[in-house]
Each structure stands twice: as C-alpha cells, then as structure tokens.
Structure 1
Amino acid sequence: MAVSLQVIYPVSDGSTFDFDYYLSTHFDLVGEHMGPHIAATTVTRGVAGGPKTPPGYHAIATITFADQAALDAAMKASGPVMADVPNFTNVNPDVLIGEVVS
C-alpha cells in the first residue's frame, strides 16, 4: 500500500518561509538524498484559509512512496534534508505519515 509523508509549515506570529529557496535548493536536496525512493511529490503554497482569510500554512509538501519500506529507506537518507530546514524557515513543521487511501 502506498504511504505519504506530509510536511506542514504552519504560519504563526514571526514565522518566516523563503519559498524560492525551498523550491530550488531544498527540493534539490530532497531529490538527491530521498529521490530514489519517492513515487511522487506535490508542494502546495498557502494563499488563503478561506474567503478573506489569510493562510494558516506557509506550505505543505506531500511526498508519496510505493510502500512503507520505500518511506523507511528515504527517511534513513534524509539527514542532509532535515539539516537544511533552518536555511529557509524558522518554523518547526508538523509531520503526518499516512496510508494513501484514494
């Protein structure tokens, strides 16, 4: 069964997020270190939380893996990716690992 890893960057007072760095440099690291194990990626930039409501999240990255073994292998290789987070944000991201059901 496919599994997903979602990395969720919430907006809070004083939080910062460099989207240009994230898309170029950070995702290059994701591809380099975790890429062989990844089936698909989607990055969503927060633009609104509803009509006339600011977004609650800077971004959500969804990374899909063929199965738990692929996710486990990617996580073992993720050290340089994790170390890069302070280079684009001061947010401590939330993480959700789940089964892809649809």
Structure 2
Amino acid sequence: MAVSLQVIYPVKDGSTFDHDYYLGKHFELVGEHMGPHIASSLVTRGHAGGPDTPPGYHAIATMTFADQAAFDAAMGAAGPVLGDIPNFTNVQPDILVGEVIA
C-alpha cells in the first residue's frame, strides 16, 4: 500500500511564506535527507480559493512513498527538514498522512 504525506501551509493573519527559499533551499534538504525514500513529489503554490477568493494556503507539498517502510525511513531522516521550516515561514503546517487509494 502506497502512503502519502501532505504538508499544508495555511494562510493566516500575519503569516509569511518565502516561496523562493522554499523551492531553492528547503526542497534541497528534502531531497538530501528524505529523497531516497520518496516515490514522487508535487508542490502546489496557492493562487486562489475560488473565483474572486484569495488562497487559503501558501503551499501544499505532496509526497508519496511505496509503502509504510519507505515512509517510516523518510520520517526518520526528516529532522533537518523539519528544523528548516522557520527559515521560510512563520506558519505551523498542517500534516496529513494517508493511504493512496487512487
């Protein structure tokens, strides 16, 4: 069973998010530390929440893993990645771990 990890950065009053740092530096750390265990990844930058509605999220990162063992290995190596979050945002991300069903 494939496992997914979504890291969701909500827009809140006074929140900041440095997209250049996130893509240029943070995702380098993701690749260095977690990359060997990731089957695929996708980053979505929020542009809108609907017609004439601002985005509810700065960004959503989705990573998939072949199975629970690969996910566990990636999370075991994620310390430097997690420690880097304050370097690009002041938002506490929401996390969703799930089973890939489609």
Q: What TM-score bracket applies, with the shorter chain setting the length?
A: over 0.9
- Which residue does 2:14 correspond to in 1? 14
Deviation of 1:21 after TM superposition, in Å, equals 0.3
Alignment of 1:12-91 (within 5 A): 12-91=12-91
Displaced runs of 4+ in structure 1, greater than 3 A? none
Q: Which runs of 5+ in 1 are unaligned?
A: none
Q: CA deviation at 1:68?
A: 0.6
Equivalent residue number for residue 5 of structure 2: 5
Q: TM-score scaled to structure 2, two decimals?
A: 0.99
* Structure 2: tracts of 5 or more residues without a match: none
Work out the CA distance in 1 between the residues paired with 2:46 and 2:76: 29
State percent identity of aligned pairs.
78
TM-score normalised over the length of structure 1: 0.99
Aligned equivalents of 1:76, 1:43: Cα separation in 2 = 21
Structure 1 position 25, deviation (Å): 0.2
